[in-house]
Amino acid sequence: MTTDRRPTVLFVCVSNAGKSQMAEALLRRRVGDAVAIHSAGTRPKPVEAGVNAESAASVAEVGASMADATPKGIDPELLRTADRVVILGADAQVEPVEGMKATIERWETDEPSLRGIEGTARMNIIRDDIDARVGALASELGVEQRPSVMFVCVHNAGRSQMAAAYAHHLSGGVVEVRSAGSAPAETINPAVREALLEEGIDISAEKPKVLTDQAVRASDVVITMGCGDTCPFYPGKRYEDWVLEDPAGQGVDAVRPIRDDIKRRVTELLASLDVPVQPLPGDR
């Protein structure tokens, strides 16, 4: 029987529907499976109530996911064995259990409503506060954070979707990948979908997404493809502009050379990030 030697983190809030779930999703976005990450509530919402929709939408903007999250209570054994136990906000109270490894710590997260900020703006401020804290936590745990790359084109229906798919599969999931469009289409280009299926990559579940300032800010590398002027600029990030033909309105025969050029560029990008290239699904 193998022992899981990864550090274990438990995030706690009252309902386990908002802040603690956000922290779990945001840390997982940064470190992947290098940390065993859990969240719980002192008075969790019913499972059927689900998580806070605004919280889920906010973390999704920066590439994190709460899609499979459900509210749950605190497992006393997990509380005892976790390396870090973090309470988010002022309301939740957690009593120590005998033999605990961790000292219970509390993050007094920002509450923008006290300044009259509500709705999406409020949630995004909370998200950014939590994200900065989980980044510091990952560093304290000595865990290497995954490089993050964002691909941007006009419609997020062709070039950026192909680049994102290749980056995800060729990196073996080591790289955190995002894509977006400055004027997103309603659906993925069917010729692009067909061309990637030839490589064993299925993007049928993907949807074009709008370019947001938050997603750019959360990325280490930003690759633009014909829409550089619309992409927010932040000092310290790596920006590249790839000049590629637009596959919009073209058949699969015309898309294949574009696909192969993107694959070559993504392979070179991963090499520059010291990320070993993995075989594609169609090559295994």
Positions of E strands within 80-129: 84-88, 104-107
In whole angstroms, what is the distance from residue 112 CA to residue 118 CA?
7
Residue 240: give the domain boundaries. Answer: 148-283
Give the confidence band of 209 by pLDDT, cuts at 50, 70, 90: confident
| Residues 127 and 174 reside in one and the same domain | no
Q: 3 lies in a domain?
A: no
Q: 109 lies in a domain?
A: yes
Q: 1 lies in a domain?
A: no
The CATH number of residue 73's host domain is: 3.40.50.2300
| Residues 237 and 127 reside in one and the same domain | no
Q: 100: buried, middle or exposed (CB in 10 Å: 19+, 13-18, 0-12)?
A: middle
Instruction: With H, G, I as helix, E, B as strand and everything else as coil, classify residue 220.
Output: coil
Give the confidence band of 284 by pLDDT, cuts at 50, 70, 90: low
| Residues 51 and 26 reside in one and the same domain | yes
Beta-bridge partner residues of 39: 11
- What's the pLDDT at 255? 98
Q: Indicate the residue among 140, 175, 202 that finishes a domain.
A: 140
Q: By the 8 A CB rule, do 161 and 255 touch?
A: no
Q: 176 lies in a domain?
A: yes
Q: 2 lies in a domain?
A: no
| Residues 12 and 136 reside in one and the same domain | yes
| Residues 274 and 163 reside in one and the same domain | yes
| Residues 171 and 223 reside in one and the same domain | yes
Q: Indicate the residue among 91, 106, 140 that finishes a domain.
A: 140
Q: By the 8 A CB rule, do 220 and 240 touch?
A: no
pLDDT tens-place string over residues 136-193: 899 899 988 888 899 999 999 999 999 999 999 999 888 989 898 988 999 999 999 9
Positions of E strands within the chain: 8-13, 36-41, 84-88, 104-107, 148-153, 176-181, 221-224, 238-241
Q: Indicate the residue among 83, 110, 140 that finishes a domain.
A: 140
Give me the number of domains the chain comprises. 2
Measuring CA to CA, which residue among 115, 38, 99 is closest to residue 69?
38
Of how many residues is the chain composed? Answer: 284
Four-CA torsion 20, 22, 28, 29, nearest 10 degrees = -170
Global confidence as pTM: 0.69
| Residues 126 and 177 reside in one and the same domain | no
Buried/exposed 112-140: b ≥16 CB within 10 Å, e otherwise: beeeebeeeebbbbbbbbbbebbeebbee
Q: 233 lies in a domain?
A: yes
| Residues 89 and 13 reside in one and the same domain | yes
Identity at 31, one-letter amino acid code: V
239 pLDDT higher than 90: yes
| Residues 187 and 160 reside in one and the same domain | yes
Q: 244 lies in a domain?
A: yes
Q: By the 8 A CB rule, do 10 and 80 touch?
A: no
Mean pLDDT computed over 105-134:
91
DSSP 112: G
1 pLDDT higher than 50: no
Q: 23 lies in a domain?
A: yes
Phi, psi (rounded to 5 degrees) for 151: -110, 130
| Residues 87 and 154 reside in one and the same domain | no
Mean pLDDT computed over 46-61:
93
| Residues 135 and 108 reside in one and the same domain | yes
| Percent over 90 (pLDDT), the chain | 71
Beta-bridge partner residues of 75: none
Q: 28: buried, middle or exposed (CB in 10 Å: 19+, 13-18, 0-12)?
A: buried
| Residues 161 and 105 reside in one and the same domain | no
Sheet of 176-181: strand order equals: 176-181, 148-153, 221-224, 238-241
Range scoring the smallest mean pLDDT among 70-79, 96-105, 204-213:
204-213
In whole angstroms, what is the distance from residue 157 CA to residue 113 CA?
37
